[in-house]
């Protein structure tokens, strides 16, 4: 065989064998030691964060415990007024002019004088005792004693005609019971003194039913017949 043909044949065989050999696999990047986080870690949210960082709902904080000595005292505001008239308020002869109606117990107001008034700016069915030019007490009672004119409640929702049992449910704890001065067999006084002030309320009860009630300065509440 011609030497040139022999070399060509050998070259073709080498090329053919090379074409049949599979290629080397590609070189892959090394796997990372740990997967990268999707987002950076964040500290727990608080109400000091921006809106976007706040939790949907914060857990409610427990209410602080209140010691017995820190508990609020009984609110006495119900015992210091009737309408816009306040216990201790000065009430002069000039104030008594106009729509006020007096009981006519004294020769006008003055040092030591005592008088009862109703109407004016007082609620219907309420009268007030004025002593030494100052309001001392309110009565859920009219000057002429017409109980049918009284349609509203007094402090703590107490009403004329209410039973003793219902009154005791409405009054704060600590009421005292004493026999009535004129009829101790069927009558009694039920008195509650506000421990946080010089205000009190007294109920006159006959046969288990409230017949009168009055409130204001404790000294005035203890007067059996008011100005009399």
Helical segments of the chain, H only: 3-20, 93-96, 164-170, 218-221
pLDDT of residue 56: 34
Short-list 161, 154, 146, CA closest to 221: 154
In sequence order, what DSSP letters do the residues of 110-146 get, joined into one string? -TT-EEEEEETTSPTT-EEEEETTEEEEEESS-TT--
Quote the distance between the C-alpha of residue 222 and its chain's center.
Answer: 31
Tokens of 117: 């008034």
The domain locations on the chain are: 83-221
* Long-range contacts formed by 1-4: CB under 8 A, 24+ apart: none
Indicate the pTM of the whole model: 0.65
Sole residue written with tokens 């046969």: 207
What per-residue confidence (pLDDT) applies to 69?
45
Closest CA to 122 of 78, 83, 80: 83
Yes or no: say if 190 and 170 are a contact pair by the CB < 8 Å rule.
no
Q: How many other CB atoms sit within 10 Å of the CB of residue 76?
A: 18
- How far apart, in whole angstroms, are the C-alpha atoms of residue 155 and residue 147? 17
Range with lowest mean pLDDT among 60-64, 153-157, 198-202: 60-64
pLDDT at 59: 41
Judge whether residue 127 has pLDDT over 60.
Answer: yes
- Work out the mean pLDDT of the chain and round it to a whole number: 74
pLDDT tens string 23-51: 554 443 444 444 443 334 334 444 444 43
Q: Give the C-alpha distances (Å, rounded to integers) separating 60 from 47, 51, 124, 217.
A: 12, 18, 48, 45
pLDDT higher for 172 or 15? Answer: 172
Statement: residue 156 has pLDDT above 70 = yes
More confident residue, 173 or 151: 173
Tell me what pLDDT residue 227 has: 86
């Amino acid at each position: 065989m011609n030497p040139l043909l022999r070399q060509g044949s050998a070259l073709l065989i080498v090329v053919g064998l090379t074409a049949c050999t599979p290629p080397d696999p590609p070189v892959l990047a090394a796997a990372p030691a740990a997967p990268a986080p999707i987002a950076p870690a964040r500290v727990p949210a608080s109400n000091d964060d921006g809106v976007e960082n706040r939790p949907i709902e914060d857990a409610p904080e427990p209410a602080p415990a209140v010691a017995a000595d820190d508990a609020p005292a009984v609110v006495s505001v119900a015992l210091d007024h009737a309408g816009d008239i306040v216990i201790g308020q000065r009430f002069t002869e000039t104030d008594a002019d106009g729509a006020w109606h007096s009981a006519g117990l004294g020769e006008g107001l003055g040092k030591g004088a005592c008088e009862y008034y109703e109407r004016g700016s007082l609620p219907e069915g309420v009268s007030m005792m004025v002593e030494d030019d100052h309001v001392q007490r309110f009565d859920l009672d009219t000057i002429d004693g017409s109980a049918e004119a009284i349609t509203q409640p007094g402090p703590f929702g107490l009403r004329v005609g209410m039973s003793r049992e219902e009154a005791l449910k409405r009054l704060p704890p600590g009421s005292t019971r004493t026999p009535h001065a004129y009829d101790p067999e069927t009558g009694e006084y039920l008195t509650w003194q506000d421990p946080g002030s010089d205000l009190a309320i007294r109920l006159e009860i006959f046969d288990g039913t409230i017949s009168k009630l009055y409130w204001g300065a404790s000294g005035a509440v203890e007067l059996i017949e008011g100005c009399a």
